[in-house]
């Protein structure tokens, strides 16, 4: 039985059952909530949130056209998500723990724990959120986004970007409102560190592990200031 008819509605949230949510040509946010849900973003740059799947089940996330994101921003348990494998686990990796399976999803957003986000051969956008995350872009021109200084620091846990390619990949710091004068990049030939001081009024070239952004990169001289978006 038809329950609702829509006009000028862009976003949908499911209930506790197994829901089917279908977007349109706009940038939609589809949130399955509880249950084993199927989300179709269709056209537009969509945000897909599978939610808690039913016991023994999983969510299916289909991005469609556009640059679509599977988001785990509300998760407090560790997330392991792979665009190459087209799956995501929350709270553990193993058969039966899978939360979501993907198709035509380009980007991943992590939660507040220590997450592992893995890209693919396309241009991916990863945002690990807080916690000591491991980020893999894959072979595309990838962007790693930091929305706050607490996303990656010594006290709360700092991220490791495993496969950053200077001149191709980007670190996006635009949400921080910072600039190159507050950036320190060091390398010992094996690994590279990016440090960004929080307060411009106190910048003196030193580093405060309590407040400043800290990101590690595998490989010597892995990035330069030119690889950062301000």
Give how far the C-alpha of residue 131 lies from the chain's centroid of Cα atoms, to the nearest Å.
Answer: 12
User: pLDDT grade, residue 54 (50/70/90)?
Assistant: confident
Mean pLDDT lowest among 42-56, 82-96, 100-114, 151-165: 82-96
Residue bearing tokens 């590279």? 192
By C-alpha distance, which of 28, 118, 127 is closest to 82?
Answer: 118
Where does the pLDDT of residue 7 fall: very low under 50, low under 70, confident under 90, or very high at 90 and above?
A: confident
Tally Cβ neighbours within 10 Å of residue 74.
12
- Label residue 9 by pLDDT band (50, 70, 90): confident
213, β-bridge pairs: 196
The SS3 of residue 192 is strand
The answer, yes or no, to whether residue 201 has pLDDT greater than 60, is no
Q: How confident is the model at residue 95 (pLDDT cuts 50, 70, 90)?
A: low
**Assessment of whether the complete model's pTM goes beyond 0.85:** yes
The pLDDT score that the predictor gives to residue 6 is 78
């Amino acid at each position: 039985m038809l329950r609702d008819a829509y006009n000028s509605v862009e976003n949908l949230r499911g209930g506790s059952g197994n829901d089917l949510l279908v977007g349109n040509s706009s940038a939609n946010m589809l949130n399955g909530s509880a249950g084993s849900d199927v989300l179709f973003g269709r056209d537009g740059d969509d945000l897909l949130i599978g939610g808690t799947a039913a016991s023994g089940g999983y969510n299916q996330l289909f991005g469609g056209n556009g640059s679509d994101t599977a988001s785990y921003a509300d998760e407090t348990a560790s997330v392991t998500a792979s665009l190459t494998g087209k799956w995501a686990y929350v709270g553990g990796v193993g058969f039966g723990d899978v939360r979501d399976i993907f198709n035509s999803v380009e980007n991943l957003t992590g939660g507040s724990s220590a997450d592992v986000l893995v890209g693919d051969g396309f241009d991916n956008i990863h945002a690990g959120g807080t916690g000591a995350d491991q980020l893999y872009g894959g072979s595309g021109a990838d962007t790693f986004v930091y929305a706050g200084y607490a996303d990656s620091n010594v006290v709360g846990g700092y991220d490791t970007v495993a496969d950053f390619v200077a001149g191709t990949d980007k670190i996006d710091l635009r949400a921080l409102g910072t600039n190159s004068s507050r950036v320190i990049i060091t390398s010992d030939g094996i690994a590279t560190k990016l440090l960004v001081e929080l307060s411009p009024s106190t910048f003196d070239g030193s580093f405060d592990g309590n407040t400043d952004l800290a990101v590690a990169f595998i490989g010597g001289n892995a990035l330069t200031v030119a690889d950062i978006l301000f």
